[in-house]
Structure 1
Amino acid sequence: MLADLRLITVQEYHRMAEAGILDADERVELIDGYILKMAAKGTAHASAVTRTEQLLRQLLGNRALLRFQDPIRLNNYSEPEPDIAVVQIDPLDYADHHPTASEVYLVIEVADSSFQKGCGLKAKAYARSHIADYWVLDVAERKLHVFRSPSQDGYQTETVLREDATISPLQFPNAIAIIRDLLPKLRAE
């Protein structure tokens, strides 16, 4: 049955959007040749993205470029739109191409209802593309899943950190963050 599937390339995906087959406001992304619907952004998700953005800007300054829910090109069959991508600085600010896997320092997905997709299908696609540092921020459980040591079979290590733990990106070991500062605030805070 799987042999009967026809996978879509990044170029075909772009042509589908240009031809109007995919609506401009349709929330989809291409992973391993499949067009996947993206989950709606809830308030906890939006809050976590905003808080993580503010913290990363403070910690990284102008050492990297931060991209939010914008495409990165992993290969000919995958162009996900991660919640946050920390990428190399480009002189044209990526006006002529989306960042490729070799230009990505860190990918962060914020998960509330999409936790399984973030830790499953997407994690495998990122690992096969050698994204060395992949984080899934689980807003419901208030934990950070850190995936490292990528291989063709997936990530070889997964560390789960509670909200009182600290983390730093592999490429920026001095940029230390407390997980709690990435998560939505609680009413008692």
Structure 2
Amino acid sequence: MPISQHETQIPLHLWTVEDYHRMAEVGILSPDQPVELIAGQIIRKMSPQGTPHATAITLTRLLLEDNLRQQVLVRTQLPVTLSDRSEPEPDVAVVMPDVLRYLDHHPHPSEIYLIIEVADRTLNTDCGIKAKDYANSEIQEYWVLNLKRRQLHVFREPTPQGYQQEIILAENDRISPLQFPHLSIEVTQMLPPR
């Protein structure tokens, strides 16, 4: 329902990463609560995770690790710090190598090559608020693996308003990550078998 001229919108309080961590420290957010901070909003992650979702994450991680070896570190469902208002936990983050590099911080946008989300029930969030947040943070390439339609949404050319390029690939299409053009991936390699 549209807001009339006489109604006012209530301002939304946006949380910072510091607020988010403090809420966890004092017990407002418990360690077993499936949440992440996206663009200043605490978003509940879908749970429980289904087996196709878990299988797709594992297939994607192994594919990238096997083909990129020492060139990258592949992190799964671990935080990345995009800004002082965003600390999502993407399904897969391909980042600069050396696990000890991240001893005192989560990867920042300048250390991230590619972020991948696996969507079974989260497609709108992944292609909406998350895509805008990743683009605003200058993540050069963002993929959303749509399990239901067996497609890959590829987002490139980030701007503060969102990604300028989005292409949708079918399961038999191939893609090369921008940072690793020598690697050709068939979308079906990331998908659980039918």
Residue 54 of structure 1 and its aligned partner are, at CA, apart by 1.1
Question: 1:101 maps to which residue?
Answer: 109
Q: Is the 8 A contact 1:143 1:179 kept in 2?
A: yes
Partner of 1:115 in structure 2? Answer: 123
Structure 1 moving runs of 4+ over 3 Å:
none
Q: Unmatched 5+ residue regions in structure 2?
A: 1-7
Q: How many residues align?
A: 186
1:47 paired with 2:47, answer no
Partner residue, 1:19 = 26
> Which amino acid letter does the alignment assign opposite residue 17 of structure 1?
A
Amino acid of the residue matched to residue 94 of structure 1? Y
CA distance in 2, matches of 1:63, 1:21: 39
How many percent of aligned residue pairs carry the same amino acid? Answer: 51
How big is each residue's C-alpha offset from its partner over 1:143-174, in whole Å with a ceiling of 9 and x where there is no partner?
00000000011000001000101111110111
Pairing 1:76–2:84 present: yes
Corresponding residue for residue 28 of structure 1:
35
Cα RMSD, aligned residues only: 1.1
Q: CA offsets per residue over residues 19-54 of structure 1, 9 Å max, x none?
A: 111011111000111100001211111110011111
Note the residue ranges of structure 1 that are not aligned, 5 or more in a row.
Answer: none
Aligned to 1:37: 44
Highest CA radius of gyration, 1 or 2? 2
Q: Mapping of 1:136-175 within 5 angstroms?
A: 136-175=144-183
- Report Cα offsets for 1:98-154 as digits up to 9, x if no partner: 000111000000000000000000000000000000000001100000000000110
**2:100 aligns to what?**
92
Is the contact made by 2:131 and 2:163 (CA closer than 8 Å) also made in structure 1?
yes
Normalized against structure 2, the TM-score is what? 0.93
Partner AA of 2:97 in structure 1: I
